[in-house]
Structure 1
Amino acid sequence: MNRFILVALLALTVSPALVSAGDTGTDILENSCSSCHDLKGPAPQTIHALWKRDAPDLFYAGNKFQREWLIEWLQKPVRIRPAGVNYLRTINSTPINQDVSKKGRKYDVLWGEVLKPLKHVTLNKDNAEAVADALMQLTPNNDLTAEMALDDAQDVDLDSGELLIDKVYGCLSCHQIEPGYGGYTGAELYTAGKRLQAEYMLSYIKRPKNWDPKIWMPNGNVKPDDLQKIANYLILLSKEDFNASN
């Protein structure tokens, strides 16, 4: 009996906040999401505040995400950022001017929580739809997407798109275009085309610091035609089957 009680207590300590019957999407966001995600804004204005971020900001989720993807992901959450939101907590970097060949410790590899299954609230379909609807109402950055429009007539295929984001703009140093291929510090890109709204992709790639002033993603001075090609490439890439759950 004592062992049963102990197991039950441990389960309660690691379980996400419970969703009560009758909760609206906004209720669920406030009760189960706001402890990790910023629902109010603004984005961090200092490096110190950025390093304290534990989960992606959601206060402009309606400008960013696609509703159908949200519904699917909230029912089966998987990791989008291989190194987590703050990569300094999860990557052992090689010390400067130190010979690590004889140390027996691996550097520049992931460690810690990101090697474990993602801990996140899991919702049923009805609650996922309610939360997605609530998130889609959060649109404070309409001005950043208003002038953006996808030109889906751009001539781009998987090979030319990969060449563009890898060799021309160096995106693969931080992002992955298939599981395990690319960097670890940014969000994976192989589901970006169905995860993100096209207008958001165009605006964020063009000037990421308009959305997140202290984020480490650089302003790549992407040419207008290349910007359109990258967005179309990401949409095309998201249709590939990488056995990804999201």
Structure 2
Amino acid sequence: MIKLLLSTLAAAAALGAAAPSHAASGAELLKSQCVACHAVTKPAEASVERLLQRKGPDLYYAGSKFNRDWLTAWLQQPTVLRPGGAMFLNAVKPGEAGSADVVDAAKVTPHPKLNAADAAAAADALMALTTPDLVAKGAFKGDPVNASMASLLFNKLRGCASCHSAKPGAGGGSGPELFSAGDRLQPDYVVEYIRNPQKFDPHVWMPRLDLTDADVQKLSGYINTLKQGGAK
């Protein structure tokens, strides 16, 4: 009986040693499928040219930005987060009869789908990419949100809706949609990005608004309430 138990344990140990780890398979996925479009390590040098030419957003701080459950689900069923692609200037075309420019959907490449196992492995690898120097824990205070005032701040007073949509089909398309932001983004990241977008990339086109901390918290709290099926 003891010999049988020992042999069983040895076989299990050998199987565990032979099987690739979740993190290792995730790292391989990042290397084989992600790095062609995304920076998974911090670029050595930031430049306007790099920003204009990149095919997808930087992911070297993904673990400080995304929520893992959302990331795992999204990688299996990707939705359009940036109507104009990673760099909207490369996807716009003139509108008809002198109307405003529109996005040429043919120039926006859809994100590939992963199966459930690969999505989980890739999500684990991405969540390991954290940058404490960019996103400080506890930046979001979690104060109660006055929805009407925060919505006014977002849509009118600070002009966020000119680039972002808080509801499907409403708002600008030069920035990522925010109607799923509460599912997608960590509140601490939202706070830090609103405070200083250029800390993440000195050439990114989102303006630094120099808001008071109270307004940053209000906007971040509002954005955190924007979730699929419950957009405000």
With normalisation by structure 1, the TM-score equals 0.78
Match of 1:18 in 2: none
Q: CA 1:44/1:84 → structure 2, altered by over 3 Å: closer, same or farther?
A: farther
Relative distance call for 1:69 and 1:44 in structure 2 (3 A) is: farther
| Distance apart, 1:210 and its partner CA | 0.4
Q: Report the alpha carbon displacement of residue 106 of structure 1 after superposing the two structures with TM.
A: 5.5
Backbone CA RMSD of aligned residues: 2.2
Query: Alpha carbons of 1:212 and 1:24: their partners in 2 closer, same or farther (altered >3 Å)?
Result: same
1:109 and 2:102 equivalent? yes
Q: What does 1:160-239 correspond to in 2, within 5 Å?
A: 160-238=149-227
Q: CA deviation at 1:93?
A: 4.6
Higher relative contact order (CA 8 A, sep 6+): 1
The answer as to whether partners of 2:143 and 2:217 remain within 8 angstroms in 1 is no
Distance in 2 (alpha carbons) for counterparts of 1:144 and 1:194: 21
Compare the two structures and name the one with the higher helix fraction: 2
Residue 75 of structure 1 corresponds to 76
**Unaligned regions of 5+ residues in structure 1, if any?**
1-20, 95-99
The number of residue pairs the alignment matches comes to: 210
CA distance in 2, matches of 1:130, 1:28: 8
Residue 122 (1) aligns with residue 113 (2): yes
Letter of the structure 2 residue corresponding to residue 182 of structure 1:
G
Whether the 8 Å contact between 1:44 and 1:212 is mirrored in structure 2 is no
Equivalent residue of 1:145, what SS? Answer: coil
Instruction: Report the alpha carbon displacement of residue 222 of structure 1 after superposing the two structures with TM.
Output: 1.5
Contact 1:91 1:109 in 2 (8 A): yes
1:144-163 alignment runs, 5 A limit: 144-146=134-136, 148-157=138-147, 159-163=148-152
For each residue in 1:36-80, what CA deviation from the matched residue of structure 2 results, as whole angstroms up to 9, or x when unmatched? Answer: 111122286221111011111111111111101100101101110
TM-score of the two chains, using structure 2 as the length reference: 0.83
**Residue 81 of structure 1 contacts residue 188 of structure 1 at CA under 8 Å; is this kept in 2?**
yes
Q: Is 1:58 matched up with 2:59? A: yes
